Structures are given as C-alpha cells and as structure tokens.
Structure 1
Amino acid sequence: METWIEIVKLKMRERRLTQEQLAERIGCSQGAVNHWLSGRRRPDLDTMNRVLKELGEENLEVVQMLRVNEQRGLYDSANGVAVPQWAISQSAFRYPVLEWAAAGDAKPSIARYSTGKSHVSDYHASGPAFWLRVEGESMSAAYGRSVPSGSLILVDPLAPASPGSLVIVSAPLQQQAVFRELQEEGGRRYLRALNPAWPVLAWESDWHVKGVVVRAMLALEEG
C-alpha cells in the first residue's frame, strides 16, 4: 500500500493533478482520494489499478498475494501445479523471485539465485519464468510506459521478442544483463530506456535476449 501511495503522489505532482481532479477522472469523491493517500483507508485492487492507469502507469499492476500452502508455481513442468480455483478467482502460477545476477546466467538456478520469495501471476509461462526486482531509474518515465525502481518484473526466457518488447539482454560490455525496450529501425536493433535521460544502446553482436518481460507489478503481500 505504501509503495502505491508513493507512486500515486509522485505521478500527481508530475502531472500537476489535484486530488479533486484525480477523483473526477476515476469517478469518486475527493474525500475518498484523501483517505487513500493518507493511508486511512485502502481502496480495492480494481480501484488501485484504475488510478495507476489514469496516471499513465499502464504497465504496472497491483495484485494481492494469497499465502496458501497448496499454491505452487509452474517453474518446472514436471511438478508445477496451478493455483486451485477455490484459492483464487482465476488460474494462476507461482514463480520464484531471483537475484538480479540470474538475468545474466544462461540457465539461472533457483538454488543459486533464490531470494527465498515467490509471487503468483495469471501468466502461463512458456519456459522456466522468474521474477526480478527492478533496480535503478533507467526504465522509469514521467509519462507513458514506465517500470519504476522496486517493481517486480516477470521474465519468460522462451517468449518471443519483437520490437516494442521489454527485454532482459545479456550485454557483456555492460558487465551485466540490462533491462530495456527492444526496438528496430532499418533492420538494425537497439535498446531504448524508458527514461529519456538514459542513452540508447546500439545492438552489439555478442548480445543475447535472455527473456521477455511479460508482467510488471507492485506487489502487496498479505500474510
């Protein structure tokens, strides 16, 4: 909840929106917005996501995590199990949250890079997907598509990458994997940061797409 409040306040300042104006746009009272932003009341998940969308954060989703022992993720197709319907309203799968160093590994190991955490998603991965927590401000933008630092991104190593995809790329010259938007012009690829202050990276011959980012979210854990 605190992260959601911080992002909403930041985006309101950037867009010079008052509480009254935001309330009018999402169809509620100014008093309700004031209660949410002061932490006195908590909006439902649909409202939280509607606010993010109205503020231009269409690539973020607030989700509620259900801690149910029977929930297990589809990380390994041999033993993965979908979340039971009685536990959540839609089919979901649990994937591990890995350390950022896993992004540069050809076959990231849960044992080696595990943070000890996992999260569910409705996304049914093509491969051994995993979550990473975004570091730095290269993919944070004041307007339009934005994935702020601290967001969780779900990486599918087998999903097809195309121009416009958010991707994790192994870039040896950068000494680590990078998170960028894949673009192509005149048959040549390049990587674009969503933050306009960051430079465009021309594609190098030894770079490889390690996975496509298929979900981005702000996670609210319920324990």
Structure 2
Amino acid sequence: MDIKDWIKAARTHKGWTQQQLGDAVGRTKANVGHWETGKHEPKLDQIQAIAKETGYPLPALGIAESNVEPALELKKSRMVPVTGNVKGGDDGYLVQSHVPDGFVEYWTGDPKAFALRIKGDSMHPRYRAGEFVVVTPSIEAQPGRDVVVRLFNGKCLLKQLNWVRQDEVQLLSINNGYGPMTIPMDEVECICRVAGSVGPDSMVF
C-alpha cells in the first residue's frame, strides 16, 4: 500500500475528516490533502503520529513500533501573515507588492515568519501561481535550500542557495531560465530561508 493510500485508510478507520486528522497530528487540512494525493510525503515522525492517533497499524515501510515516547511533543501550526505578492521579473529579480491581505496556517517556530503569494508562472514548476511560500528569517539558510535574498539596492530574489563564502554568495535559479548568479556579500542585506509552501486555498482573512 502506498503511503498516500495508507494515510487515507487510517483517517477513514478513525472516521475523521482531513481537518480532524491534521488537528490531531499538528498539521493543516491542506497538508493532509497533499499527503493523500501524493503531492508531498509525511516525515517518519508524522507517520508515527498518524498511527498513534488513529490506532491504525503502521505501513510496511520498515518502520518498527517504538515503546519509547518522543522527547518533544509535536508542535502546532500557527497563522503566518501574508505580506505581499511576488512574481519573477524578466531580469531574474522578484517584482514584489507589499500589501498584507491575510494569513496562512503553517508550522513554524519563527515569530518573524511571513508568507508571499506567487503570481505568474515564472517560478513553475517549483512554485505555482496562487501558492504561498513561507519565509522564516530567524532560521539560518543552508546550501541547497530555497531562499529569499534582499539586496541593499531594494531588489529581491527567490532562488536556491548554492554556497556562501566570506565575500560572495552564489544563487541558482528555480525555473532554469537563468544561469547561476554570484553576488558580493556587501550587496546583500539578508538571506532568508524558505521553509516551504502551501496551496492557494490556505489563506484566511
């Protein structure tokens, strides 16, 4: 059984909606929907939490039941403000509109987290029009992660962080429309980690 089918079976076994399962394991209805369609796969601790909360047997993924309680309780999601819209410009930089217009629900421990709504198809297929990227400025970005980079000249980029050196940073394009971009560090105001994305139906007012 695929993991997406197992999640739906576990939820049905309990008689829960996607919202109820999400509440039980500290995720959103959208997260559960993505798991059940196969858009995203849950992490191991989330699979274990689903099995525990629903009483449904763990899937045959080589996961053994543990009699050791986890050290930390699963954290709950919270409302993250949407601070504007972004789309890719012809020069590879973001075109940004700073108009707060709602909130999206997302798990994060960063009190400074914010979300940006994607407009246009310039970031497809990584990010689709209408989706939201959640940015966590307080958490250090690591190479290989998507980041929002703000420059002192006011320009902004949504890229993948390739590497950071003492005097330079190299960024890779998300949509493969541009080559690697190497920028002097003295031009960079901040590099903010992108924690993930949520669907267009996730926003509340």
Aligned equivalents of 1:208 and 1:149: distance in 2?
Answer: 27
Whole-Å Cα distance in 2 between the matches of residues 210 and 195 of structure 1?
A: 19
How big is the alpha-carbon RMSD for the aligned residues of Structure 1 and Structure 2? 3.7
CA deviations on 1:5-25 (whole Å, 9 max, x unpaired) are: xxxxxxxxxxxxxxxxxxx99
Does structure 2 conserve the Cα–Cα contact (< 8 Å) formed by 1:163 and 1:184? yes
Equivalent residue for 2:190, pick from 178, 185, 209 = 209
- Could you say which residue in structure 2 is the equivalent of 1:139? 123
In percent, how many aligned pairs have the same letter?
17
Contact 1:95–1:129, Cα closer than 8 Å, also in 2:
yes
**Structure 1: how far apart are the matches of 2:115 and 2:172?**
21
Structure 1 CA distance, aligned partners of 2:160 and 2:203? Answer: 32
Unaligned runs of 5+ in 1: 1-23, 29-42, 59-88, 102-112
Conserved? CA contact 2:4–2:35, under 8 Å: no
Residue 90 (structure 1) shift: 6.3
Query: 1:1-223 to 2 correspondence within 5 Å?
Result: 46-53=32-39, 91-100=76-85, 113-125=98-110, 127-141=111-125, 146-172=126-152, 176-184=155-163, 189-205=169-185, 206-221=187-202
Query: Matches of 2:164 and 2:109 in 1, distance apart?
Result: 31
Select the structure with the greater relative contact order (CA < 8 A; seq sep ≥ 6).
1
Alpha-carbon distance between aligned partners in 1 of 2:164 and 2:155, rounded to the nearest angstrom: 25
Count matched residues: 138
TM-score, length-normalised on structure 1? 0.49
SS of residue paired to 1:49: helix
In the alignment, structure 2 segments of 5+ residues that lack a partner are: 7-16, 19-28, 42-73, 87-97
* CA distance in 2: counterparts of 1:91 and 1:131, whole angstroms: 17
